[in-house]
Amino acid sequence: KQEVTQIPAALSVPEGENLVLNCSFTDSAIYNLQWFRQDPGKGLTSLLLIQSSQREQTSGRLNASLDKSSGRSTLYIAASQPGDSATYLCKTSGSRLTFGEGTQLTVNP
């Protein structure tokens, strides 16, 4: 059974800092890995989708990488802003869709 872990559970940084969020998974037989953002009480917004054949995807200040062999993905956020404050979740797609519990990010002005 796939297990997806996100560490740390919470992270607080000053505005402008570059940061990395981590996602690890136990079963490397995945089709893709997707990163989401969730604001309090809201749905999940898709940020980046990395196919299993890809190593990374970029969108604006966000860069996601995937290393299937080591069971790891990272989400890099450049020049963080207070508006980036949210919970970030990763999801693997294999025989099942499995979500991590998320990292709650706070960017302080």
Candidates 41, 24, 37, 109; CA nearest to 77 is 37
Interactions with other proteins, residue window 70-109 (CB under 8 A): 89, 91, 93, 96-97, 99-102
Backbone angles phi, psi at 46, to 5 degrees: -70, 135
Return the beta strands (E) in 16-77 as ranges.
19-25, 32-38, 44-51, 56-59, 62-67, 72-77
For other proteins, give the closer residue by CB, 34 or 65.
34
Options 10-18, 39-47, 57-65, 69-77: segment touching other proteins (CB under 8 A): 39-47
- Least distance from other proteins to the Cβ atom of residue 99, Å: 4
Interactions with other proteins, residue window 18-37 (CB under 8 A): 31-32, 34, 36
